[in-house]
Amino acid sequence: MIDLFSYGVFFLATALIFSVIALGLNLQWGLTGLFNAGVAGFVAIGAYTSAILTTPEITGRLGGFDLPITVGWLGAALATAAASAFTGFVTLRLKSDYLAITTFGVAVVVQLISLNAQSITGGPLGVSFIPRPFAALAEKPLTFNLLNLMVIVVVAATVFIVLEYLSRSPWGRVLKALREDERAAVSLGKNTRSYRIQAFAVGGAIMGLAGAMQAHFIGFIAPENYLAPLTFQIWVMLVVGGSGNNWGAIVGSILIWAIWAGSGALISLAVPTDQQARAASLQIVLIGVMLCAVLLVRPNGLLGERPVRRLTLFAKKRHSAAQNEPA
């Protein structure tokens, strides 16, 4: 019974960290319509920044600055915000596909740096001995996990509330306006590029913060944690939950993580050890098919954005009006 409860706490902590990444993506995609195909890269920037800032001194790799965990988390958010802002600065005056391609490239390059720049990132072995909050209580796993879960809940709730506030603020309304009808927003004197860069940077900061939280919760990071399947998982979480809705990001990530962890457990029980890598790839196939199916059948996810109905009606009217015009 205690075991089950303890696993539940661990599961929820992991899922909520994914929720925070999905919340960051929701600001970029759900609210602003910016396609980030390199989520894993931005999460990695946060994780590595915080790891380098907070680990004890070490030879053979940059840092080990032994700073407090909060400084690490703050640094992670700032570094990822800077990387996101630069990516946005280069691509956001161009067509939306360029952002997708460039972010995809960012993830590739971050992966290369984490693998090969041993003097900064520790190379394939990654960074270990990342300080964990409440490390003194690590012998009592339940208390330790519960306290960590509380920290994660507090951070996730704070991010959630700030994002809800932002999306209702004038700033958030400008972002929605840009997503729905760029020309109308521009005609009202809104600087498209600057608003989009801001949204992309704030979303990136949230992803970086989540990356740092994950690194400190597990205590160890390595390049293979930040491959394309991570990006993909976060996207499925947001799309299934309902992009544009912060609750959707949270519900989706808990649901998808439950499916992922459940099918993983099933594979390790039912499949012989030598075939488990193969079975694991089938897991990704199923999630990929699920993403495509949701996009086809229920593009708004479980909990879509609320005013969607009115907007589609409006879009249809506009569409038919455009068709009636002579070409």
Partner 1 sequence: MVNLQFIVDGLLSGSMIGLGAIGVTLTYSILRFSNFAHGDLMAWGTYSTLLVVGAIAAAFGQVAPIGPLSFGWPLIFAVVLGMGFTSVLALFIDRILFARLRAKGQMVIVVMASFGASMALRNLLEFIFTSRPTYFNRAIQMAMPVGLGIRITPDQIALLAATALLVVGVHLVLTKTQTGRSMQAVSQNMALARVVGIDVSGVIRVTWIVGSALACFAGVMVGVLVQIRPLMGMDMTLPMFAAAILGGVGSVPGAVVGGLIIGLAEAAAVQMVGAEWRLAMAFVILMAVLLIRPIGIFGVEER
Among 2, 188, 270, 285, the residue binding partner 1 under the rule CB under 8 A is 285
- Does 71 participate in binding partner 1 (rule CB under 8 A)? no
Contact region with partner 1 (CB under 8 A), list: 180-188, 192-200, 206-214, 271-279:
271-279
Among 15, 77, 106, 254, the residue binding partner 1 under the rule CB under 8 A is 106
Q: DSSP assignment, residue 56?
A: P
Measured in degrees and rounded to the nearest 5, phi and psi for residue 62 equal -60, 140
User: Using CB under 8 A as the criterion, what x/- string covers residues 1-40 for binding partner 1?
Assistant: --------------------------------x-x-x---
For 295, counting Cβ atoms within 10 Å of its Cβ (0-12 exposed, 13-18 middle, 19+ buried), the class is exposed
Rounded to an integer, what distance in angstroms lies between the CA atom of residue 44 and that of residue 208? 7
> Which is nearest to 45 in space by CA: 87, 8, 14, 4?
87
Residues 227-246 that bind partner 1 (CB under 8 A): 228-229, 232, 235-236, 239
Instruction: Decide if 15 contacts 241 (C-beta within 8 A).
Output: no
Among 100, 137, 259, 261, the residue binding partner 1 under the rule CB under 8 A is 100
Among 138, 153, 277, 311, the residue binding partner 1 under the rule CB under 8 A is 277
Which is closer to partner 1, CB of 179 or CB of 216? 179
Which DSSP string do the residues of 274-297 spell out, in sequence order? Answer: GGHHHHHHHHHHHHHHHHHHHHHH
> Which is nearest to 176 in space by CA: 203, 157, 195?
195
Rounded to an integer, what distance in angstroms lies between the CA atom of residue 298 and that of residue 295? 6
Which is closer to partner 1, CB of 44 or CB of 213? 44
Contact region with partner 1 (CB under 8 A), list: 4-12, 45-53, 98-106, 157-165:
98-106
CB of 283 to partner 1, least distance (A): 8
